[in-house]
Homo-oligomer: A and B are copies of this chain.
Amino acid sequence: MITVIAITKDNRIEEPKLDELKFEDYKLIWIDCYDPKDEELYKLSKKINIPTMDLQIGLDEQEIPRVEEDEDFYLIIYKAPLFEEDITTTSLGIFIKENVLLTIHTDKIKAIGRLHKLISTKKPTTIFERGIGFLLYHILNEITRSYSRILMNLEDELEELEDRLLEGYDREVMEKILGLRKTLVYFHKSLIANRDVLVLLKRKYLPITTKEDRENFEDLYYDTLQLIDMSATYREVLTSMMDITLSLENIKMNQIMKILTMVTTIFAVPMWITGIYGMNFSYLPLANNPEGFWLILALMVIIIMTFVYIFRRSGWL
C-alpha cells in the first residue's frame, strides 16, 4: 500500500495519488510504502527513479540500522517496535532523494501510522515547512516515543510481576516473563543500532539536515541512550526476580517434602503396631486383657507425640 502526503509551494497539505504525482509541484513529499505488491514496488521504483533492488533493502525486516549515501539518494535503515504475538522489532527503510522522503517497510509500524494520520487529519504545516531533515526527525522521534511508551508499560508490568512472583507463579506468569525477556532482547539490540544512526545524524554534516535538525537528533540520541539504559536495567531486574523466584520455589518444595516426610515418619511405627496386633495368631500378648486395647492405643499415641515433639524441636514444624 502506497500513500502520499505532500505540501504545495503555497503551504497546503495535499494527498495526491502516486500516479498523478509531479515532484516539481510540491515543496516536500512523504511517500509511505507498506508491504507493497510487486507491481506497486515496480511502479514506485520507476516513478522515484531508485532501482527496485535498493528499495528491497528497506523491505528486509532484519536489515541492520545504518546511513548509506548513494550517488543521488540517502538510505537510512532504522529499527521500530513491531507488535505481534510478542513485541519484537522490525526494520524500516527511509529513502531521501531531493524533495521526496520515502518510508518503506514490510511490517506495520504504528509510529508511522500515527504520524501519517495526524498529518492527514489535522494538516499541520509546521512539520513540513521546516524541510526534509525536520520531517525525518519527526518520524524517528515518533518511533523513539513508541519504544519509550512500551518500556514505560513494561516497568508497570514488572512491578506487578514482582508482586505476583513473590506470591507463587504459574505457567501464565512464565509465558509473560518469556515474552518480556524476548522484547527486552530485541529492544536492546535495536536501540543500540539506532543509536549509531543517530550519532551519525547528529554529527555528520549531511546536506539534508540543518543545524537545528542536528540539535534535534542530539536530543533523540539522549532519549535513545536513556531507553537503552532502561532496557538494560529491566533485564537485570527481571533476571534477579527469576533467580529469587526459583529460590522461593525451592523453599516451598522443601516445605512440601518436610510435610510428606513427617507424616510418613510419624505414622510408620503406629501403623506397624496396628499391623502386629492385626495378625491372626491364636495367641497375642494382651489380646484378651480388657485393658490391652487401651494400653496399645496409649503406646501408639505416645510414639506419635514423641515424633511430633522431635520434629518441632528440629524446627520442622
Residues in A lying within 8 Å of B, measured CB to CB: 60, 62-64, 66, 162, 166, 168-171, 174-175, 177-178, 181-182, 185-186, 189, 193, 222, 225-226, 229-230, 232-233, 236-237, 240-254, 256-261, 263-272, 274-288, 290, 292-293, 296-297, 300, 315
A296 to B283, CA, bound (A): 12
Q: Which B residue's beta carbon lies closest to that of A162?
A: B178
Q: Is the interface of A mostly helix, strand, loop or mixed?
A: helix
Asked if A254 contacts B256 (CB within 8 A), the reply is: yes
Asked if B281 contacts A251 (CB within 8 A), the reply is: no
Asked if B261 contacts A260 (CB within 8 A), the reply is: yes
A216 to B182, CA, bound (A): 33
User: Which residues of the other chain, B, contact A169 by a CB distance below 8 angstroms?
Assistant: 247, 251
Asked if A259 contacts B261 (CB within 8 A), the reply is: yes
User: Which residues of the other chain, B, contact A182 by a CB distance below 8 angstroms?
Assistant: 237, 240
Asked if B296 contacts A279 (CB within 8 A), the reply is: yes
Q: How far is the CB of A48 from chain B (nearest CB, A)?
A: 21
Q: How far is the CB of A193 from chain B (nearest CB, A)?
A: 8
Asked if B277 contacts A279 (CB within 8 A), the reply is: yes
Query: If the complex has contacts A182-B237, A258-B256, are A275 and B270 also in contact, measured as CB distance less than 8 A?
Result: yes
Nearest 8 pairs of A and B residues by beta carbon: A274-B275, A277-B279, A260-B261, A278-B278, A181-B240, A281-B293, A185-B236, A178-B244
Asked if A279 contacts B281 (CB within 8 A), the reply is: no
Q: How far is the CB of A296 from chain B (nearest CB, A)?
A: 7
User: Which residues of the other chain, B, contact A186 by a CB distance below 8 angstroms?
Assistant: 233
A5 to B156, CA, bound (A): 37
User: Which residues of the other chain, B, contact A271 by a CB distance below 8 angstroms?
Assistant: 267, 271-272, 275
